[in-house]
Structure 1
Amino acid sequence: MNNAGDTLSDNLLGDAAERLFAQTCTPALLRAAEQGQPIDAAWRACEDAGFADALVPESLGGAGLPLAAALPVVLAAGRHLCPYPIAHTMLARGWLAAHGHARPAGPIALAPHGLSVADHRIAGTNVPWIRVASHVLAQINGQAWLLPLQAADVQSNGVHGSLDGEASW
């Protein structure tokens, strides 16, 4: 059911996201991210705006939005070439909250193809957003794992400007 209130809140959320990403996702920030430099200030602005926890229930400190209502944020991020995984983070934090897990600070990358374990090491290739995330949420042997990237060896995938890469723990 879509009423005038829903449209107004969609516009307010989308307008807020447009303003934030226009201010923070500058060409200089994009170049910095591509070169492996920190983008912490831009991420903090996004997190402070509440976008990262948009899908987390209000009772747990989030906005409690349904998935479709968060779409304006994702669209605005795409229009401004946002150099961090806001859509992945929103989904990951919503899933973590729904399953009673703590939500870490910082952007979270999703590893849609999972990670593998071999020789006592966890590894993933072509993990989206891995070069700018602080954690990766992945499935390993049927279990969900939330892995901190500060404990990982992260390598570029060799594609100029790509924020994807390889990681091992």
Structure 2
Amino acid sequence: MTDAIFDGFERALLDLCTLERLRAQETPHVAARLWEQIDALGYTDALVSEARGGAGLPLSQVFELLFVAAKAGLSLPFGETAVARALLADAGYFNDGACIVLAKAQPLEGDEIYCVDVPGAALATRALVEWRGEWLLLDCSSAVLTPGSYRNQASASLSWASPAVALLRFLHPRADAEVLCNAVHAAAMAGAMERVLELSVEYANDRRQFGKAIGQFQALQQELAVLAEQASTASLSARMGCAADGYLPDPLLAATAKLRACEAAARVTAIGHAVLGAIGITEEHPLGLFTARLHEWRMTAGSELRCAELLGQALLDEPTSSLFDFVRTRLSPGQPA
């Protein structure tokens, strides 16, 4: 991706996602107007092939967009929509500008479709759900919504009585909702952690105690160094998780990226709130918005435990390989799956 495209998106987000609007955009009415402005920029079709009216960019390049969207504080499911539109375009579905969340339905008896704690679901108009081996495009307005555990205005659990209400049903054997969410959420978590680092450093330089900035105290400098280290490794692993020529990431790389992001997020959120103290949880300061999103991403789609189990099972399935060989051959970008 050229620097001009990336810079253009970042500049637009800075204008649309001001600090004053970060909290307001997690309400449906404001989010709907904001989505119209975001979608008009054209970046949501980045993964759609050129033949179908998109930019035809691979996920490895779109990583930059996912990262900067989360860093700017965009509460809408930008990355999920970009991936969903690529899937829908391959299925021959016409893009109608909808904001779309991705989810995998819980295994239940009967025809009920139930998705737990879907980030941004209360702000989206459609949901692309993987259900019993097929993909369903569903209208969020026809779902029973239960407020999310971490962001009760922006996220929700979704339930539909049966697949009969689906706007579209199609098969895509190579696509897996959990894998896609792992890659997208890892990139978003890396962007959010970068913003937490910036907010923490800014506060440490501005807040004065005993006649000097608290950022000059060695103990705090050590904590900020750890925060920066965690954010940096999360960004590197997220970039590896998105290392795909198309829009379908490698399952093990995506799980590795999400696992590292989850581990880093626990340290980053703790240090960020320790640095800012009580002000970090007030409505006047944006830190709490970013840390809440990080905790939500940790627990949704492929959770930390789920990713660890997937990687562990993959290693056990190759008993002839040493741990070093497994990492070298299966967890390196560009290696065959």
TM-score (norm 1): 0.83
Q: What CA distance in whole angstroms lies between the structure 2 residues aligned with 1:27 and 1:57?
A: 34
Does the C-alpha gap of structure 1 residues 73 and 119 become closer, same or farther in structure 2, counting only changes over 3 Å?
same
Does the C-alpha gap of structure 1 residues 109 and 168 become closer, same or farther in structure 2, counting only changes over 3 Å?
same
Q: Which residue pairs with 1:3 in the alignment?
A: none
Q: CA offsets, 1:16-69, max 9 Å, x none?
A: 111111111123433223344431222112211111111111221111112222
2:164 counterpart of 1:168: no
- Residue 8 of structure 2 aligns with an amino acid whose one-letter code is A
Q: Which residue pairs with 1:46 in the alignment?
A: 38
Give the one of 71, 84, 99 matched to 1:79.
Answer: 71
Gaps in structure 1 of 5+ consecutive residues = 1-5
2:21 counterpart of 1:29: yes
2:4 counterpart of 1:12: yes
- Cα RMSD over matched residues? 2.1
- Residue 72 of structure 2 aligns with an amino acid whose one-letter code is H
Q: Which residue pairs with 1:121 in the alignment?
A: 112
**Is the CA contact 2:26–2:123 (under 8 Å) kept in the aligned structure 1?**
no
TM-score (norm 2): 0.44
Alignment: residue pair count: 160
Q: Which residue pairs with 1:58 in the alignment?
A: 50
Structure with more helix by fraction: 2
* Greater radius of gyration (CA): 2
Pairwise CA distance, 1:163: 2.6
**Is the CA contact 1:154–1:168 (under 8 Å) kept in the aligned structure 2?**
yes
Q: Which residue pairs with 1:155 in the alignment?
A: 146
Q: What CA distance in whole angstroms lies between the structure 2 residues aligned with 1:115 and 1:128?
A: 15
Q: In structure 2, the residue corresponding to 1:126 is in which secondary structure?
A: strand
Does the C-alpha gap of structure 1 residues 123 and 72 become closer, same or farther in structure 2, counting only changes over 3 Å?
same
Structure with more strand by fraction: 1
Identity of aligned residues (%): 28
Q: What CA distance in whole angstroms lies between the structure 2 residues aligned with 1:44 and 1:61?
A: 18
Pairwise CA distance, 1:72: 1.9
Segment of structure 1 superposing worse, 21-30 or 147-156: 21-30
Gaps in structure 2 of 5+ consecutive residues = 161-337
The structure showing larger relative contact order (alpha-carbon pairs under 8 Å, at least 6 residues apart) is 1
**Is the CA contact 2:45–2:54 (under 8 Å) kept in the aligned structure 1?**
yes
